[in-house]
Amino acid sequence: MHKNTTLLISLGVLLLLIVGTWWAGRPSETSIVGYDLLELSDTTKISRIEMISDENSVILSKVNGKWLVNDKYKVDRSIRNFLVGVLKLVRVKREVGPSQLAEVKQWMASGRKVIISGGQGMLAEFTAAGNPSKTESYFTLAGESKVYQVELPGYPNYVSGIFEFTENQWRNRLLFSSDWRSIQSLTIDYVDDQKKDVTIAFDKTTLKVADLPEADTLVLENYIQQYESFFTNEFISKGQIPVYDSLMDATPVATIRLRDIDSAKNTELDVYPGPTDQPYVLLKDEAGNYSVCDAGRVRSLLISLDDLRPEK
């Protein structure tokens, strides 16, 4: 009897140790704050990110070393880097309690299902959503009932917003990336016959302006500098911003044609008029993609010969 009692006590102590060890490995109610829910510290393994919803599904995939959105367009590198940072650094702020759980689960029902994959298969799967005012972000792991409010330490904005981007918002917005040394020719072709076209071309050692014996060197240098890294604001589709729909069938006011040493950087861009009450101008590239860009920045590209003449 004494031996059996001793054995039972020993087994009880061992069971407590096992349970204690298992429990210690789980995030407790007090330690859940700051918990790495996704466990994606090594983001170099990621090669595919799916963000799925009934209204808008976007897939980012790495193909031959380059990231594409929906297998069609180059991905904006800065936004992708931010997304990777979110996946790596997002942390639990709190577990949603019983009193709020039903309401938050309603929000989760319209959230984005996110699947992260790599060469070895799926790395993480979760749903991302937020409250109606887009001030709080919530994640729930696939197959789990718990919901967590999450945050990005040091980033006060809406974390789940990155998963709600449309295809157009993920696209690389770079239109021009040429400089003084690589540009072979640059033409501003105005539709209005009252405006003289401007042609700037490489002539043996430098860029010169056609029909202008001498150009203001500083003005010309500042003008060309704009083409080193010129981004549009956002690509759009017909119906996305109705006020621009009618302009898509209009005649452009000018066409910018740039030829570079690197033919991959050759660009042809149509510039459309107005609308005068909007801060953006409609653009169309040679592939037929429409975008909107700050009117002021576009106007600075539409230079005239008079702008380039030296001051007397």
Lowest mean pLDDT among 52-56, 121-125, 299-303: 52-56
Which pairing describes strands 73-74 and 91-95: parallel, antiparallel, or unpaired?
unpaired
Structural domains counted in the chain: 2
Residue 143 shares a structural domain with residue 256: no
pTM, two decimals, is 0.81
Quick check: is 10 in a domain?
no
Quick check: is 269 in a domain?
yes
Residue 296: the pLDDT is 94
Residue 136 shares a structural domain with residue 118: yes
Q: Which domain holds residue 60?
A: 43-170
Side chain identity, residue 309:
R
Residue 56: the pLDDT is 86
Interatomic CA distance for residues 154 and 312, integer angstroms? 54
Quick check: is 32 in a domain?
no
Residue 210 shares a structural domain with residue 225: yes
Query: What is the per-residue pLDDT across 66-91, written as a single tens digit (0 to 9) for each?
Result: 999 999 999 999 999 999 999 999 99
On the question of pLDDT at 5 being above 80, the answer is: no
Residue 119: the pLDDT is 86
On the question of pLDDT at 25 being above 80, the answer is: no
Task: For residue 106, give the H/E element and its range.
Answer: helix 98-109
Q: Name the pLDDT band for 19 (thresholds 50, 70, 90).
A: very low
Residue 113 shares a structural domain with residue 213: no
Percent residues over pLDDT 90 in the chain? 78
Q: Tokens 């009252």 sit at which residue? A: 194
Q: For the residues 171-177, what does the mean pLDDT come to?
A: 97
Residue 283: the pLDDT is 97
Quick check: is 8 in a domain?
no
Final residue in a domain of this structure, among 170, 188, 222: 170
Q: Tokens 């298992």 sit at which residue? A: 22
Final residue in a domain of this structure, among 170, 204, 230: 170
The CATH number that applies at residue 219 is 2.60.40
On the question of pLDDT at 281 being above 90, the answer is: yes
Query: What is the phi-psi region of residue 269: left when phi exceeds 0, alpha when psi lies from -120 to 50, beta otherwise?
Result: beta
CB 149 within 8 A of CB 94: yes
CB 281 within 8 A of CB 295: yes
Query: What is the per-residue pLDDT across 179-206, written as a single tens digit (0 to 9) for each?
Result: 999 999 999 999 998 899 999 999 988 9
Residue 187 shares a structural domain with residue 101: no
Residue 31: the pLDDT is 60
Q: Name the pLDDT band for 177 (thresholds 50, 70, 90).
A: very high
Q: For the residues 280-289, what does the mean pLDDT come to?
A: 96
Residue 228: the pLDDT is 97
Q: How many CB atoms lie within 10 A of CB 4?
A: 8
Query: What is the per-residue pLDDT across 247-264, written as a single tens digit (0 to 9) for each?
Result: 999 999 999 999 999 999
Residue 277: the pLDDT is 85
Q: What is the average pLDDT value for the chain, to the nearest integer?
A: 89
Lowest mean pLDDT among 2-16, 130-144, 159-173: 2-16
Residue 221: the pLDDT is 95
Residue 253: the pLDDT is 96
On the question of pLDDT at 162 being above 80, the answer is: yes
